[in-house]
Structure 1
């Protein structure tokens, strides 16, 4: 059996790790509220720290920067965990949503539209924050381009699950990926759900119908 001193050290380490994880969680929640209310640029680390009940120094120790909190906010929305980047979770998300043996290409498109609807709903604020902040912050602009590339990879992976024989005549896999990437986008979500007031069910149906019409042979 471990010696008492060893057990005590282990317990202290576990308690410290739990406390640090809780502090990070509180700061991320506070940052999400601050970003939603004020936007990225107007948000301040002092208000985020105050919302979380910690010092600014603790914020920097826990997350490093306001930009890191923004990225974690979006990763949490997309993957469900701020410490699991969306790029790492993407294969699992697609496998869970699309590897159930869809009977045909249209069923695969409908499954993907349902997956995308959930991602878009959770990440709408994060995408908007990134887009707006990228206009004046070079580091966030670079991050934004990386995120756009990851989104493009999502569609490329989705289309690998659609038989090439099901695509419209003359439509290459690359063009099909670009087309899907443009249709199921943060911009269409904001236009249709945010401005035109589509319900999420209606938006999902629009994505599925529009992707099928644009990509699949009739």
Structure 2
């Protein structure tokens, strides 16, 4: 695993043209793996989709597994960047949760290959699969801890909260982003925001008369 990471680093493009070529290969790999799955996907399929020569592939990657691992990492960065851009101006943590979930569902709708690739990673490259979520969880944990320090949310275990919120987002993205789009991302995010803000405890005032 370490050798693979060192090889990928040594092959990282250093020119703008090289970076554009790598981007084409990763986008093509997303389409190839997303459509055909890891075992049926091929390097030639990736290069054909990218409009690149087979030798160009080996300029950046040594194998199908290596490009798959790079793709899982790349998808994590793309997802985090997409969400970060949209929550950057949120005035507080609860608003950021609503906006972030809405953004993630939108991302899932536009990148449906994400789910197949990441889920398959747990069988093809489990360490990459774990790292994908570990990076998300660590960033989430820091954000929640900062929100507690600012008084935006009540104190609580940031680690467990981070993983719980990630799990909720993953399945909401699957249900409303990939399986069915019968509700808008804003509707789903608003419903979940209510849960995060008020919890499931009944409203003591609900049973009172006027």
TM-score normalised over the length of structure 1: 0.65
Other-structure match for 2:174: 190
* Residue 32 (structure 2) aligned to one of 34, 38, 61: 34
Equivalent pair of 1:180/1:211 in contact (CA under 8 Å): no
Task: Give ranges in structure 2 of 5+ residues lacking alignment.
Answer: 1-13, 204-210
Q: Number of aligned pairs?
A: 187
Structure with greater Cα Rg? 1
**Residue by residue, what CA displacement relative to the aligned partner does 1:122-169 show, whole Å, maximum 9, x if unpaired?**
55422421212422x2xx111001111112123212312433655468
Q: Is residue 2:196 matched to residue 1:211? A: yes
* Residue 21 (structure 2) aligned to one of 15, 20, 23: 23
Equivalent pair of 2:26/2:71 in contact (CA under 8 Å): yes
* Structure 1 residues 199 and 21, CA gap change in structure 2 (3 angstroms): same
Equivalent pair of 2:115/2:174 in contact (CA under 8 Å): no
Query: What SS is found at the alignment partner of 2:38?
Result: helix
Other-structure match for 1:156: 141
* Structure 1 residues 24 and 112, CA gap change in structure 2 (3 angstroms): closer
Q: Is residue 2:61 matched to residue 1:63? A: yes
Q: Is residue 2:38 matched to residue 1:54? A: no
Q: Is residue 2:98 matched to residue 1:110? A: yes
TM-score normalised over the length of structure 2: 0.67
Relative contact order higher in (CA < 8 Å, ≥ 6 apart): 2
Equivalent pair of 1:45/1:66 in contact (CA under 8 Å): yes
- Superposed CA RMSD: 3.6
